[in-house]
């Protein structure tokens, strides 16, 4: 198989849920501490290892893209995710997320890395689902480690605490009647923190909710989802 990012031979499988996120939310996943999820048909399934095939995308990428190339992207997201998770341990809700505090030092560079982490996740999800979305521009951004000006992020929260939760949604694709892409979207959740990732070349974005790393302010409002 071919890596959708760089087009070399692919043999490495990216995690749908970042291992560090799953571990932070659920603890180490094992036979004695399994997590419960649902398969693509909505049927309940049990996962008893963080290497369970269900936790990996079915479409491989190459080892270099999965490790060396995107490591700064992964690391930046890990840092932000941990910051928010720890904040939510002491606060029921957060009006604002201070990116400069969460991602210090050089928060602006790190939020670009966070976008590229979600570019990888969205691309893997689209590739795996076979959705009719051209991901060449997303691949190119990752390959050259340059932010994508059509990939918006929005941060949301749920104040109601139910149970430990970590999830990557299906990819939601909206197209016009003549098959022109309007938007492709995923939602990635770590406990009560939800990241909506929207890829669009149309002027449809509500800029009070979604932003690009190049224009985001140092604090973003965490809306209720």
Q: Which residues are near Zn ion by CB under 5 A? A: 3, 5-6, 62, 65
Q: 49-55 — which CB contacts under 8 Å span 24+ positions? A: 50/15, 50/19, 50/22, 50/23, 54/16, 55/15, 55/16, 55/17, 55/22
Compare residues 62 and 97 and give the one whose CB is closer to Zn ion: 62
**Minimum Å distance from CB 65 to Zn ion?**
3
Compare residues 5 and 119 and give the one whose CB is closer to Zn ion: 5
Of how many residues is the chain composed? 225
Compare residues 142 and 190 and give the one whose CB is closer to Zn ion: 142
Residues 13, 67 contacting (CB under 8 angstroms): no
Q: Enter the tokens of residue 169.
A: 């949604």
**Minimum Å distance from CB 22 to Zn ion?**
24
Compare residues 6 and 147 and give the one whose CB is closer to Zn ion: 6
Distance of alpha carbon 148 from alpha carbon 112, whole angstroms: 9
Residues 94, 42 contacting (CB under 8 angstroms): no
**Minimum Å distance from CB 64 to Zn ion?**
6
**Minimum Å distance from CB 6 to Zn ion?**
3
């Amino acid at each position: 198989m071919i890596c959708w990012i760089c087009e070399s031979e692919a043999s490495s499988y990216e995690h749908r849920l970042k291992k560090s996120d799953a571990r932070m939310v659920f603890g180490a996943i094992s036979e004695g501490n399994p997590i419960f999820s649902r398969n693509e048909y909505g049927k309940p399934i049990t996962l008893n290892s963080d290497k369970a095939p269900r936790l990996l995308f079915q479409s491989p990428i190459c080892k270099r893209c999965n490790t060396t190339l995107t490591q700064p992207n992964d690391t930046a997201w890990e840092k932000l995710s941990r910051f928010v998770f720890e904040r939510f341990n002491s606060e029921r809700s957060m009006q604002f997320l201070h990116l400069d505090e969460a991602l210090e030092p050089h928060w602006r560079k790190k939020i670009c890395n966070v976008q590229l982490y979600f570019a990888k996740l969205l691309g893997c999800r689209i590739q795996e689902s076979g959705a009719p979305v051209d991901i060449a521009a997303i691949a190119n951004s990752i390959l050259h480690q340059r932010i994508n000006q059509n990939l918006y992020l929005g941060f949301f929260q749920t104040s109601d605490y139910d149970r430990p939760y970590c999830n990557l949604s299906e990819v939601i694709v909206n197209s016009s009647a003549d098959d022109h892409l309007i938007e492709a979207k995923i939602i990635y959740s770590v406990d009560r923190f939800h990241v909506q990732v929207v890829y669009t070349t149309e002027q449809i974005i509500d800029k009070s909710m979604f932003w690009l790393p190049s224009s985001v302010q140092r604090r973003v409002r965490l809306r209720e989802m």
